Amino acid sequence: MYRRYIYILYSGLIPYNHRHLNVLWGHNLKKSSKVKESIQKKRERILNRYANSDQDGIEVIPARPEENIFTTERSQRVAIYARVSTDGVNQVSSFQLQQYHYKDMISKRDNWELVDIYADEGISGTSLKHRDSFIRMINDCGKKKIDLIVTKSVSRFARNLVDCVDHVRRLRRLNPPIGVYFEEDNIYTLDPDYETKLSIVATMAQEESHTKSKTMNKSIEWRFMKGIFLTPLLYGYDHDEDGNLVVNEEEARVVSLIFFLFLYGYSCTEIARVLTGMKIPNYHNSIEWNPTTIYGMIKNERYCGDVLAHKTITVDYLEHKHKKNEGDAPQYYKRDHHEAIIAREDYVTVQVLIDIARHGIVNISPELKAIGKGVLKGFVCINPHWSKFNKDDYIEAAKTIRNGFGVPERIRVVADENDEDMSDCQVVRGEFLGGRTPITITFKNNSVRFSVPAVKYLDTYNIELLVEPLGGYLAVREAGPGESHSIIWAMEKQEKKTNKLINAAGFIDTIYDLFGWNRKLTYRINGTFLEKRKDKVLFFDVRHTEILIPRHYARVREVYGVSIPAGSVVAYKNEWGGSYGDSYYGDRFLNPLNEFMNNDSWKIQEKGVRANEPIVTLRNREELMDEIKRLSAEIEENSGRREADGNDDG
């Protein structure tokens, strides 16, 4: 209060003088003295009340004595809860011993009646998931079937502090309340001072579980580092005496049939339908196959003899939540770990086909095509369906044709005797004069969008996007709807042709890498429409790229107080600051558009030629069909033999 008033005086709102301060100080001293006097009087009244109290005539009615669960004569309906966290041999022994121990405990007490032994075997105590017996016991408590729960320890009841305390409190709130007796911890939850002890012990149990989880994960990781991998049972394999995977010949035929059907062109849904029709038992001994099972099998590297460890990681040890390991923890890969069912070449081919099948492409080996003739010579057709082609792949593809479009050998330009030397002159950039052209291509996030005028210049709904990675140019030409590199860039809206957002997830990272762009920013390139006879093309020079920076990236307003409009801020590269454009001779002789102007035969629709080695070699379809027929016949024969053996046994 004082400081605030003094600040007002010094701030000039009230004329400063000593009289104001003296008045203020005296006023507050009087107020403080009155408050102290009032508090003192209240204290004296309270002390007098205790000193003059009269206890004569007061009768004390004693509380009900605390009940000892072992000495009380009241009958008790007792439930036993037992749990072991694994189903190993040692744990099975422990599990049985717990049950024998508590049955004996109850039989020695005449007033105890065993309701049931609620037992969860091979279940972790950090979560209630799959603890069916525990949940059934709690429900029986709500139905008033139980008076007392006895269990070995807090850690057997729950290793999760929140679950443990929460369920104990719920049981205490029932009418009549139900207590839990933790034998080893000597805690009875109907005792008045139980909660402090329970919280401490439950916290220790939870931390112990956390420590065990970390130790177990580290132990497993050390095993992987030593090449000792976990080998859970897998359809197509059995276990030998040492737990190693060995091929099950009968199931292996089914696995091979699944892979060959996929290589032939069948989808996972169609394969599941075929196997169900053949009445082939699956891993769960059911003849009903589903596409998810098929997909998991053709993605499993173990069928080609390899092992990948640490595919998933635990993100919550209490809830046992797992997620796909996407670089969060190290993984360990071992080639030729066990006998393969599927040849490695076939397995790799299947993985490639799975990737490109997401884009609706079937039985086509991913390829890069480069243009070898015409004005687009050196351009590489962007593959929109295969994200694993990178910057270097496109550069190498362009180099297979020539040293790059618009990047001729170094030349020296000299003016003729009668011509004026223009070497000191520059051709002003179009952006400085009239802004951007109506023809643009914009790259943002995982998408590409052309401007509406760009779409209207080419009378097509399907295009092919080409890149010249050595010089930094893009071109767009017409494409047929069935072509492998075709992209849909337009659609009908209200009976008019307009632009369509293109999903570019398969190639946009490569574009950003090629041009050295920042993945967080949006880039817009101004383009030109070129036409000669029947040839039409949109041409984009990456040198004319605008950077669209979101407002939250532009902090100019906060620093300089400059008003920034809504939306994005348009920016250009720093090198533009030192010039108006290209040099006069550079524009005339090195401008890539001269390639179009000086060439009579454009050959815009020249087909590209393969510019990369085949990623996979597709199997001959006739050979595949022969294998499919052979395997199907063998499987049917074995199935008939099994049915005959079953009838003989009957």
Give the separation between CA 64 and CA 67, rounded to whole angstroms. Answer: 8
Instruction: Single out the residue of 486, 500, 493 nearest to residue 447, CA to CA.
Output: 500
* Burial of residue 93, with CB atoms counted within 10 A of its CB: 0-12 exposed, 13-18 middle, 19 or more buried: exposed
pLDDT for residue 423? 58
The residues, ordered by sequence, that sit 6+ positions from 62 with a Cβ below 8 Å of its Cβ are none
pLDDT tens-digit profile of 475-494?
Answer: 999 998 778 789 999 999 88
pLDDT for residue 14? 40
For residue 2, pLDDT over 50 is answered with no
% the chain with pLDDT above 70:
67
Higher local confidence (pLDDT), 517 or 598: 517
Higher local confidence (pLDDT), 42 or 455: 455
pLDDT for residue 202? 79
Cβ 131 vs Cβ 96: under 8 Å: no
For residue 529, pLDDT over 70 is answered with yes
pLDDT for residue 1? 42
For residue 214, pLDDT over 70 is answered with no
Query: Which pLDDT band holds residue 510 (cuts at 50, 70, 90)?
Result: very high
Q: Which two tokens stand for residue 16?
A: 């400063």
Give the separation between CA 622 and CA 610, rounded to whole angstroms. Answer: 25
* Burial of residue 614, with CB atoms counted within 10 A of its CB: 0-12 exposed, 13-18 middle, 19 or more buried: exposed
Residue positions counted in the chain = 650
For residue 476, the surrounding DSSP H or E stretch is strand 473-478
Cβ 271 vs Cβ 294: under 8 Å: yes
pLDDT for residue 284? 86
Dihedral (Cα; 426, 429, 434, 439), 10-degree rounding: 150
Alpha helix (H) residue ranges in 451-570: 452-457, 508-515, 556-560
For residue 297, pLDDT over 90 is answered with yes
For residue 371, pLDDT over 50 is answered with yes
For residue 470, pLDDT over 80 is answered with yes
For residue 404, pLDDT over 60 is answered with no
Q: Which of 116-130, 201-215, 426-440, 531-545 has the lowest mean pLDDT?
A: 426-440
Which of 202-211, 238-247, 353-362 is modeled with the greatest confidence? 238-247
Instruction: Single out the residue of 168, 152, 172 nearest to residue 160, CA to CA.
Output: 168
Higher local confidence (pLDDT), 470 or 600: 470
For residue 569, pLDDT over 80 is answered with no
Phi, psi of 391 (to 5 degrees): -55, -50
- 357-369: average pLDDT: 73
What is the secondary structure of 512-534 as a DSSP string?
HHHHT--TTSEEEEEEEEEEETT
- 381-409: average pLDDT: 77
Q: Which two tokens stand for residue 380?
A: 């590489």
Q: Which two tokens stand for residue 316?
A: 């919550």
Query: Which pLDDT band holds residue 374 (cuts at 50, 70, 90)?
Result: confident
pLDDT for residue 324? 72
- 428-433: average pLDDT: 54
Instruction: Single out the residue of 171, 169, 203, 172 nearest to residue 185, CA to CA.
Output: 203
For residue 504, pLDDT over 60 is answered with yes
Taking all residues of the chain, what is their mean pLDDT, rounded to a whole number? 78
For tokens 């369509």, the residue is 500
Query: Which pLDDT band holds residue 408 (cuts at 50, 70, 90)?
Result: very low
pLDDT for residue 201? 83
User: Model-level pTM?
Assistant: 0.54
- 283-301: average pLDDT: 92
CB burial of 163-181 (b: ≥16 within 10 Å; e: otherwise) equals: bbbebbeebeeeeeebbbb
Give the separation between CA 115 and CA 647, rounded to whole angstroms. Answer: 46
pLDDT for residue 254? 95
- 634-649: average pLDDT: 71
pLDDT tens-digit profile of 11-45?
Answer: 344 444 444 445 544 555 556 677 777 888 888 88
- Preceding omega of 281 cis (within 30 degrees of 0): no
Where on the phi/psi map is residue 60: left (φ > 0), alpha (ψ -120 to 50), or beta?
A: beta
Q: Are strands 148-151 and 76-84 parallel, antiparallel or unpaired?
A: parallel
Higher local confidence (pLDDT), 347 or 60: 347
For tokens 């579980």, the residue is 209
Query: Which pLDDT band holds residue 3 (cuts at 50, 70, 90)?
Result: very low
pLDDT for residue 602? 84
Q: Which of 434-438, 504-508, 608-612 has the lowest mean pLDDT?
A: 434-438
pLDDT for residue 558? 45
- 340-361: average pLDDT: 85
For residue 161, pLDDT over 70 is answered with yes
Instruction: Single out the residue of 211, 179, 206 nearest to residue 192, CA to CA.
Output: 179
What is the secondary structure of 48-64 as a DSSP string?
HHHHT---TTPPP-PPP
pLDDT tens-digit profile of 50-71?
Answer: 677 666 667 777 766 556 666 6
pLDDT for residue 17? 47
Query: Which pLDDT band holds residue 6 (cuts at 50, 70, 90)?
Result: very low
pLDDT for residue 385? 82
Q: Which of 81-85, 474-478, 561-565 has the lowest mean pLDDT?
A: 561-565
For residue 95, pLDDT over 50 is answered with yes
pLDDT for residue 67? 60
For residue 537, pLDDT over 80 is answered with yes
Instruction: Single out the residue of 189, 188, 156, 197 nearest to residue 173, CA to CA.
Output: 189
pLDDT for residue 571? 65
Q: Which of 97-106, 422-431, 495-504, 610-619 has the lowest mean pLDDT?
A: 422-431
Could you tell me which residues are beta bridge partners of residue 537?
530
Phi, psi of 427 (to 5 degrees): -95, 120
Separate counts of helices (H) and strands (E) for the chain = 19, 27
Give the separation between CA 535 and CA 603, rounded to whole angstroms. Answer: 7
Q: Which of 522-536, 600-614, 631-645 has the lowest mean pLDDT?
A: 631-645
Q: Which two tokens stand for residue 136?
A: 């059934």
pLDDT for residue 347? 93
Higher local confidence (pLDDT), 593 or 277: 277
Q: Which of 263-267, 307-311, 321-325, 523-527 has the lowest mean pLDDT?
A: 321-325
pLDDT tens-digit profile of 311-346?
Answer: 665 654 445 555 676 666 777 788 898 999 999 999
For residue 137, pLDDT over 70 is answered with yes
For tokens 């709102």, the residue is 13
For residue 115, pLDDT over 90 is answered with yes
pLDDT for residue 556? 46
Query: Which pLDDT band holds residue 643 (cuts at 50, 70, 90)?
Result: low
